[in-house]
Chains A and B, each alone.
Chain A
Amino acid sequence: MSVLIYAENWDGKFKKLTYELASYGAKVAEMLGTSLVAVSIGNVEENELKKLGIYGVEKVISANHDLLKHLDSKAYTSLITQVAQKEGARVIVVASNNAGKSIAPRLSVKLKAALGSGVNKLPISINPFVVSKRVFSGNAFAQLSLNTDVKIITLMQNSFDLAEKPVEPVIEHFAADLDASFVKTAVKEVQKHEGQILLTDAEIVISGGRGMKSADNWQPILELAGLLNAATACSRPVSDEGWRPHEEHTGQTGKIIAPNLYFAIGISGATQHLAGVSSSKYIVAINPDKSAPIFEAAQYGIVGDAMKVLPKLVDAVKEIKNR
């Protein structure tokens, strides 16, 4: 018996998100009185695999196969299923990100295991197995009972604090049973956003809305983002106008993010926008209209013109950096 996490890597390296899953998995394993196993797919070096031990992973199963070089949801599902069965996984935890969301539902069908997706905290109870998940785009949470022997959870990013629980993990190499006829998707081209802080990874996000008035006014946002090591984002009208790329659109139909700090600048705070950012730990709103709904969601607010306020913020950040 075990709890299994899928430890995703990016170019051979784990990220904070991977360690969040490990920390979460370790706690669930503790609740169930069992051990924590991680499966890693792709080429990850032994010293990187061992880092999972810091967060309580007792065994790391590393599967490196030519057919697993890019994400093929069917092949990845098959591999994780093989590992889950070998390890007698009772609970499988994956990230609620693009990769996790394309694998977890397939695993659910393959293993006939109930799936709780977008889970934001530890299970509320073990027997019955009840989890809390985000519903109605963050306007509510639901308690969901997972009624099968094996359960699958996709965990929201930045919803669980890292917790060290150092162990020396066993590293095991796993020969996946896969053949080429299985992998139907072929990647023709990869375009990476080099040198940028990813919106979904960023601890601080600076976001501009229609109140910024023009694409030409983005300079202070970019400057503030640079100083704070933050990612940039925008509201839907901004991406629809083409002022910013649609990858930056946060909101119900865009990206759902949960950074530690979210700056909403010139954003009124429509329900659909808040749906994408309401899980942020702190929201700062800058808007000339004091009655804008964004101030109901924010902990800090400035009623004023962004073009006048932003340079002051830039100066203040420079000042604390120079201290």
Chain B
Amino acid sequence: MNILVCISNVPDTTTKVKFTENNTRLDTTGIQWVINPWDELSLTRALELKDDASTGVKQVSVAHVGPASSEPTIRKALAIGADNAFRVNIEPVDAYQVAAALAEVVKAGQFEVILCGIESSDYNGSNVGSMLAEFLDYPSVSAISNLKIEGGQAVITREIDGGKEVVAVPAPFVGIVQKGIAKEPRIAAMRGIMMARTKPITLVDAPAAEGLSNLITFEPPQPRAACKFIDPENAGQLIELLQNEAKVI
């Protein structure tokens, strides 16, 4: 069984985002680029499954859609422990293009489990995983907080509104992963960093699918009114204000 983890290259989550060119582009000055947090958790879980011989997971690969400038992030995934990587050399305009490109990687390989993070921390789309599944005509399970492989079959816990469900799904499938799947993201050790230098990144030259949407402009959120402070000795006054001024209780 082989697992493919799809990774996105995003600004570090502590970045104070700024825009340039009349608010039409992200200002990338000084940005640290990282593996999207949920993709990193997916990769960690994939490697945990590979470490457990009973699962029969033999290989963990990563795939990324983007230009050569994202290779440091791909190398990081290899340093954490992925066996090899694929990069589709396009600059995508939307999730539809990303998913179409990833579908080409999947079709060219032999993967039973494809994992994607539930969203990327930059465009917050939650789109790529389910789009990829539809391109491939694979089943997909979303909001996964636990993934086990038992007797060659995936047993998944997914979050639903108001609870959890345990779901069985035959391979091949796309799993869309949220928090809980792995406790802490795995960190690259020095040995891993050395080994990553020689692991292969296969360049995939897929023709870009047509994009269906495009970003026009960015805008900062509406500024909030200044905080009104209430004397801690008279904290009950807060409840009065919430009832009579904000009218929310």
Mark A residues whose CB is within 8 Å of B: 10, 70-74, 77, 96-99, 101-106, 108-110, 112-118, 130, 132-148, 154, 184-193, 198, 200-201, 203-204, 228, 246-247, 249, 252-254, 260-261, 270-272, 275, 278, 281-282, 284-285, 295-305, 308-309, 312-313, 315-317, 319-320
B110 at the interface (CB under 8 A from A): no
Mark B residues whose CB is within 8 Å of A: 11, 13-14, 16-17, 19, 37-38, 94-96, 99, 118, 121-131, 133-135, 137, 139-143, 145, 155, 158-170, 173, 176, 179-180, 211-221, 224-225, 227-232, 235-243, 246, 248-249
**Within the assembled complex, what's the spacing in Å between the Cα atoms of A261 and B241?**
12
**Within the assembled complex, what's the spacing in Å between the Cα atoms of A133 and B218?**
10
In the complex formed, the residue of B with least CB distance to A228 is B249
Residues of A within 8 A of B155 (CB): 188
Question: Would you call B232 and A302 a contact (CB within 8 A)?
Answer: yes
**Within the assembled complex, what's the spacing in Å between the Cα atoms of A135 and B220?**
10
Residues of A within 8 A of B227 (CB): 285, 295-296, 298-301
**Within the assembled complex, what's the spacing in Å between the Cα atoms of A252 and B118?**
12
Nearest 4 CB-CB pairings of A with B: A304-B232, A316-B236, A102-B142, A105-B130
Residues of A within 8 A of B220 (CB): 139-141
Residues of B within 8 A of A281 (CB): 248
**Within the assembled complex, what's the spacing in Å between the Cα atoms of A59 and B225?**
42
Residues of A within 8 A of B145 (CB): 246
Residues of A within 8 A of B241 (CB): 300
Question: Would you call A190 and B163 a contact (CB within 8 A)?
Answer: yes
Select which of B37, B122, B126, B249 is within 8 A of A135 by beta carbon. B122
Question: Would you call B133 and A70 a contact (CB within 8 A)?
Answer: no
Select which of B14, B140, B212 is within 8 A of A108 by beta carbon. B212
Chain A nearest CB, measured from B235 CB (Å)? 4
| Pairs A–B under 8 Å by Cβ, sample size 13 | A98-B143, A98-B161, A106-B131, A115-B96, A141-B220, A142-B215, A146-B212, A188-B165, A188-B167, A261-B246, A282-B246, A308-B232, A313-B239
